[in-house]
Amino acid sequence: MTRAATNAAFTAPSWTTANRPASPTVGQIGWNTTTSSMEMYNGSSWGGLGVSYGINYLVIAGGGGGSGGNASGGAAGGGAGGYLESTVSVVPGTAYTVTIGAGGSGGAAGGNPGVVGSNSVFGSYATASGGGFGGAWNTAAGNGGSGGGVAQWNSSVSKSGGTGVTGQGNNAGSFIWEYTGERSATGGAGAGGGSGNINNTNATAGGSGKASSITGSSVTRAGGGGAWGRDSGGSGGGSGGGGAGTNADPGNASSGTANTGSGGGGAYNGSGGAGGSGVVIIAYTNATQRGTGGTVTSYNGGVGSNNVTTWVHTFTTSGTFTA
């Protein structure tokens, strides 16, 4: 018997994702030029052979809604959605579910709190918690990815702002009672910072958002919503898309910017602003596009080389990322 040379190699057939064998058999393998990976048919679908590659992800949940005012008590801003950014390995051919969290609605006029934002999810790797709602003067503040602000009116009781999830966001500022007659509120916390405490009749701005360069340029997202207080009027939303509070009479507060996960603002005498919807962004470096799903863009200048291409998959609605 003649033995094969030790340097002999097997050349697998190749195809694109769109032109795979029409009638594959179980165990059939080949090189997918679309994903630059080996794959095998298992009897029902094509899957990678376990050779993984690294990706970066950014997952931001929906922001919390701001509270509606009644021209009496303060109106607080909503907190930003949870913010998660990391690096993991994915297996070619494997489908990963992407869920985009909706922003929470703003509270109705008359002194009603906002609504908590919805979670955003990337497969089993990351679940970002929806932003906490902005509290009305007669309710507690909402907890969430970042905490919602707290409102106050004529009560000799200190009140805590909403708390954020550790590793995803921050706590909102609290109301520290000093004297009867105070009408104040704090903004919602942002992914980059809280909104500060308050102890009189003013309002604090929304907490700052957080910057990421996953798309090739620095973009700030997930700011807290601004509040309304008697003496300061409407305060600004946090950097990164936070909705501003309003002093209009009547008037509705601004909503958080869509697909930033920012909180909505609080209103003096109207409806609070809605939180901004979330976003999921996935990026990796490779000479050619490997994955599918979302809106795909690319830029040159990945880690370690100015000539390598980085591919970016941006999900603004729920879908599937196939590695």
Q: Is the pLDDT of residue 302 over 70?
A: no
In the block, tokens 């009560």 appear at 155
Report pLDDT for 5: 53
pLDDT tens digits, 107-118: 999 999 999 999
- Give residue 285's pLDDT: 92
pLDDT in tens, 139-182: 999 999 999 999 987 677 789 999 999 999 999 999 887 776 67
Please say if the pLDDT value at position 231 is more than 60: yes
pLDDT value of residue 1:
45
- Selected residue with higher pLDDT from 134 and 287: 134
4 vs 271, higher pLDDT: 271
Q: For the chain, what is the mean pLDDT?
A: 90
Asked whether residue 79 carries a pLDDT value surpassing 60, the answer given is yes
- pTM of the full predicted structure? 0.86
What pLDDT, on a 0 to 100 scale, did the predictor assign at position 28? 83
The yes-or-no verdict on residue 7 having pLDDT over 70 is no
